[in-house]
């Protein structure tokens, strides 16, 4: 079955009882049991729900994984990986360019639980190799990264993890399985904020995991049930609905991102553009090798710092200043005070998240309207 067909059918067979072509929303908390110890495969919706199971089976198929798990948010999915697989004294090596919420989870929650965390240069596998310790149990990577869109070599990290008997988790939110499938490149766990491109319509919060190994799956599944941060059936259904159009949306997102990145690259008010689809991007060749496309995210550096950024955001009419990304509408984000505010200023600056950095999520509007909106907003 080809990818576009999986989007429509994986985990989503017609309802046996009614023939409904859409998975029903099983809006129930509990299920009738025929006798003591004899249920019909379902007992309580924190443990399992048919609508949620359809979503879990779908993401597993899309990511070439054996198992899928759904959560109430992307951070709930991340928490389940860390809480389900690691213990006090274990060590994690994470890429240095990563979502601010992930950094906050690492530093403000799990470090207090006794987890040890080191950061490596997201662009340099040798930096990850150097950071490995005897107690390293997990490598954590985003690619493309948030917000600087660096490209991490998944095959190289998989090899490092394997040699050190560690697991490799890859946050695939920006690329989606349409453009990149990390398990095919050697990863063990794939993480998604399904709030973003998978849901695709800015109307649902969720997280997903795709897992290769049964033992890893069972440990994280246990944590999912024990901690209980699961999505309701309506959220699962909305995410499935969004996934059906992923292929057509991602093509439009990428087309618009190319238009936006090309325009920004030649603008006098912009000092740098981050988009792996540009041949000038240092990770372009690697992205061309391990991805099937370059995605819909573009970041850029304004020459005038925060003052220029404030003027820019005030003039936007099509792009909306907002958190999040991956919806059909174009969004503009100021990472320093929004998505990456949890990272201390000194550390943000060290990582390249400056006062002039703007992150754009190109929607699926007409590309000419997006370029004209940016052109108008960049006239200082």
* 225 and 252 assigned to the same domain: no
Q: Phi and psi dihedrals of 84, rounded to 5?
A: -85, -25
* 206 and 320 assigned to the same domain: no
Confidence band of 40 (pLDDT split at 50, 70, 90): confident
Is 369 an active-site residue? no
Task: List the catalytic residue out of 46, 129, 241, 272.
Answer: 46
Tokens of 83: 């809480």
* 108 and 135 assigned to the same domain: yes
Task: List the catalytic residue out of 196, 212, 348, 359.
Answer: 196
pLDDT digits (tens, 9 = 90+) for 115-147: 999 999 999 999 999 999 999 999 999 999 999
Confidence band of 38 (pLDDT split at 50, 70, 90): confident
Which pLDDT score, from 0 to 100, does residue 41 have? Answer: 85
Q: What is the rounded distance in angstroms from the CA atom of residue 229 to the CA atom of residue 73?
A: 8
* 7 and 116 assigned to the same domain: yes
- Residues sharing a CB contact under 8 Å with residue 51, sequence separation 6 or more, in sequence order: 23, 24, 25, 26, 233, 236, 237, 240
* 159 and 250 assigned to the same domain: no
* 201 and 250 assigned to the same domain: no
Assess whether pLDDT exceeds 90 at residue 16: no
Per mean pLDDT, which range of 2-16, 126-140, 242-256 is the poorest?
2-16
The upper half-sphere exposure of residue 113, i.e. CA atoms within 13 Å in the direction of its Cβ, equals 16
Tokens of 350: 């060290």
* 224 and 260 assigned to the same domain: no
Indicate the residue among 243, 273, 303 that finishes a domain.
243
* 283 and 365 assigned to the same domain: yes
Q: How far is CA 330 from CA 105, 114, 322, 361, 367, in A?
A: 27, 40, 10, 5, 10
Which pLDDT score, from 0 to 100, does residue 116 have? Answer: 98
A 10 A CB-CB count for 19 gives 7
Indicate the residue among 243, 267, 294 that finishes a domain.
243
* 277 and 357 assigned to the same domain: yes
- Residues sharing a CB contact under 8 Å with residue 48, sequence separation 6 or more, in sequence order: 42
Assess whether pLDDT exceeds 90 at residue 60: yes
Assess whether pLDDT exceeds 90 at residue 102: yes
Number of domains, the chain: 2
Per mean pLDDT, which range of 6-15, 56-65, 163-172, 273-282 is the poorest?
6-15
Which pLDDT score, from 0 to 100, does residue 223 have? Answer: 98
Regarding pTM above 0.85, the answer is: yes
Is 197 an active-site residue? no
Task: List the catalytic residue out of 90, 96, 153, 171.
Answer: 171
Terminal CA-to-CA distance of the chain, rounded, Å?
51
Q: What is the rounded distance in angstroms from the CA atom of residue 48 to the CA atom of residue 29?
A: 10
* 171 and 213 assigned to the same domain: yes
Confidence band of 17 (pLDDT split at 50, 70, 90): confident
Indicate the residue among 192, 225, 243 that finishes a domain.
243
Is 188 an active-site residue? no
- Residues 61-80: b if buried by 16+ CB within 10 A, e if exposed: bbbbbebbbbbbbbbbbbbb
**Which CATH number covers residue 316?**
3.90.1150.10
Closest CA to 212 of 191, 238, 190: 190
Tokens of 34: 């025929």
Is 350 an active-site residue? no
Which range of residues forms the domain containing residue 9?
Answer: 3-243
* 210 and 278 assigned to the same domain: no
Which pLDDT score, from 0 to 100, does residue 70 have? Answer: 98
| Residue appearing with tokens 């190994």 | 213
Tokens of 349: 């600056």
Q: What is the mean pLDDT of the chain?
A: 96
pLDDT digits (tens, 9 = 90+) for 312-336: 999 999 999 999 999 999 999 999 9
Task: List the catalytic residue out of 6, 53, 90, 99.
Answer: 99
Assess whether pLDDT exceeds 90 at residue 14: no
Sign of the C-alpha dihedral computed for residues 51, 53, 59 and 61 taken in this order:
negative
**Which CATH number covers residue 55?**
3.40.640.10
Assess whether pLDDT exceeds 90 at residue 1: no
* 134 and 265 assigned to the same domain: no
């Amino acid at each position: 079955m080809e990818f576009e067909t999986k989007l429509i059918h994986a985990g989503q067979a017609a309802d046996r009882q009614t023939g409904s072509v859409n998975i029903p929303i099983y809006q129930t908390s509990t299920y009738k049991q025929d006798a003591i110890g004899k249920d019909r495969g379902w007992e309580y919706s924190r443990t399992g729900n048919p609508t949620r199971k359809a979503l879990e089976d779908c993401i597993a198929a899309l990511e070439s994984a054996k198992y899928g798990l759904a959560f109430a948010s992307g951070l709930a999915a991340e928490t389940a990986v860390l809480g389900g697989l690691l213990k006090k004294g274990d060590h994690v090596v994470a890429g240095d360019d990563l979502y601010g919420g992930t950094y906050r989870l690492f530093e403000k929650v799990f470090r207090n639980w006794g987890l040890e965390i080191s950061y490596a240069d997201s662009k340099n596998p040798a930096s990850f190799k150097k950071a490995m310790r005897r107690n390293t149990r997990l490598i954590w990577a985003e690619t493309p990264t948030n917000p600087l869109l660096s490209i991490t070599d998944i095959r190289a990290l998989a090899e490092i993890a394997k040699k050190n008997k560690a697991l490799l988790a890859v946050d695939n939110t920006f690329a989606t399985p349409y453009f990149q499938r990390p398990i095919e490149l050697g990863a063990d766990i794939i993480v998604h904020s399904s709030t973003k491109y998978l849901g695709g319509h800015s109307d649902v919060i969720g997280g997903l995991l795709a897992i290769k190994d049964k033992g890893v799956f069972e440990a994280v599944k246990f944590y999912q049930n024990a901690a209980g941060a699961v999505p309701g059936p309506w959220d699962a259904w909305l995410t499935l609905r969004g996934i059906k159009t992923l292929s057509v949306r991602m093509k439009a997102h990428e087309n618009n991102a190319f238009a936006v990145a090309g325009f920004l690259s030649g603008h006098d008010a912009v000092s740098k553009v981050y988009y792996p689809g540009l041949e000038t991007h240092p990770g372009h060749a690697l992205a061309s090798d391990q991805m099937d496309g370059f995605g819909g995210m573009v970041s850029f550096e304004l020459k005038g710092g925060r003052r220029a950024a404030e003027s820019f955001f005030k003039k936007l009419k099509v792009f909306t200043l907002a958190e999040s990304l991956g919806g059909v509408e174009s969004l503009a984000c100021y990472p320093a005070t929004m998505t990456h505010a949890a990272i201390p200023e000194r550390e943000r600056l060290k990582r390249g998240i400056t006062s002039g950095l703007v992150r754009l999520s190109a929607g699926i509007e007409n590309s000419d309207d997006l370029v004209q909106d940016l052109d108008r907003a960049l006239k200082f």
